[in-house]
Amino acid sequence: MNVAQEFDPLYRAAQALDLHGATSEAALVTITRTHGSTFRRAGASMLVLRDGRIVCELSGGCPQRDIALRAQRAMETGECDVVAYGRDSNYDVMIETGCGGELEVLIEPWREPEDVRFLHAIETLRVARTPGVMASVFSTDGHAPRGRLLRLVKSDDHAWTNIDHPPLQRQILAALEQQSGVNGAAARHVDDAGRHHEILLETLHPPHALVVVGDGMGATLLSRLSTQLGWRTTLVGTHHHEVPTEPGVHHVLATSQSLATTVTLDSLTSAVVMTHRLERDLAYVAALMATPVRYIGVIGSRRRAEEICAAFPNEPRLHAPAGLDVGSETPQEIALAIAAEILALQHGRSGGPLNRSREPIHP
């Protein structure tokens, strides 16, 4: 599937479908292979609805328009399709992107509730904040699947599959073991009973979470931006008063002493403290230090930041003042700078200009 933050809108759209079996109501498009420079990597998915609307766009350019048209045709026929875009086929469409790469997509029409059962299995892992892996059989003996895709979703202590052939299950499980601990997605093949199956192996990550501690406008704006980025967002109020409701934001009241028992603070969580009082900041930072959170940001002046850093020397998780140096001044700009720093750290990037970086653009 997509990067973690793109799953929620796709899942909500799937839940809203009226899958009654008579006609295909949507088609899932998934990139299965790429070569060279492309707009997205293997595993990225786009949902095309019967009325033409698109959820989680892949590129917005010519390949997407062509793919969407093919998805509409797949909904009419009810048959899966595997389409290559490259030098040997549909090259004119790829030329217009200017990327110079090649890719292959699987188009999978959805007609019945069972077609989206694998999404519920993924959501179960996400709710438990448990990483996992998924295998999708997208080609057999060089042809797209006839009927519903065979899939297997698993974590260390949970598994779901619609594959009822044990030897094929074992082959796929062995392939998934090799994918464990590897980020991204990759196409592999397995042979079973004389048949050659192409499978897409994908790593499933829980969504990133952000905990914002504060009562002011800056905390509210950072929480709002966090939800737009697809992060699971919690806004922690520090004293009792009416807190403005932000869509998609979980609001709680917690002291520094009760923070760890009130909010989930795991290794996939970042936290930003912005109470605007030094002693209160120090108390919340101390509470966060006792948890596995990977990023602890504190806003404030250079002088206040020095005092906070002095209280927690040689702590790499502490970022005070929080945010990238982009000259931010307004609450909106500060929120952007903080979110950008968190995103850069998530992907192991420096946060510098792209035109000075030799790293691949997509992490």
User: What residues make up the domain containing 58?
Assistant: 4-204
Whole-number Å distance between alpha carbons of 108 and 71: 8
* Domain end residue (candidates: 204, 238, 264): 204
Tell me, yes or no, whether 335 and 262 share the same domain.
Answer: yes
| Domain contains 361 | no
**What's residue 223's pLDDT?**
96
**What's residue 361's pLDDT?**
67
**What's residue 305's pLDDT?**
93
> Is the pLDDT at 330 greater than 90, yes or no?
yes
CATH code, domain carrying 237? 3.40.50.720
| Domain contains 352 | no
Tell me, yes or no, whether 60 and 133 share the same domain.
Answer: yes
Q: What is the mean pLDDT of residues 178-198?
A: 84
| Domain contains 242 | yes
> Is the pLDDT at 91 greater than 60, yes or no?
no
Ranked by mean pLDDT, which of 2-16, 48-62, 214-228 comes out on top?
214-228
| Domain contains 356 | no
**What's residue 90's pLDDT?**
66
Q: How many domains does the chain have?
A: 2
> Is the pLDDT at 76 greater than 80, yes or no?
yes
Lowest mean pLDDT among 63-77, 78-92, 273-287: 78-92
State whether residue 77 is helix, strand or coil: helix
Tell me, yes or no, whether 128 and 161 share the same domain.
Answer: yes
Give the confidence band of 242 by pLDDT, cuts at 50, 70, 90.
low
Tell me, yes or no, whether 143 and 261 share the same domain.
Answer: no
> Is the pLDDT at 94 greater than 60, yes or no?
no
Tell me, yes or no, whether 79 and 105 share the same domain.
Answer: yes
Using one digit for the tens of pLDDT, what is the confidence trace for 115-144?
Answer: 999 999 999 999 999 999 999 999 999 999
Q: Where are the beta strands (DSSP E) in the chain?
A: 26-35, 45-49, 54-55, 81-85, 102-110, 132-140, 150-154, 159-161, 185-192, 195-204, 209-213, 232-237, 249-253, 269-273, 295-298, 318-319
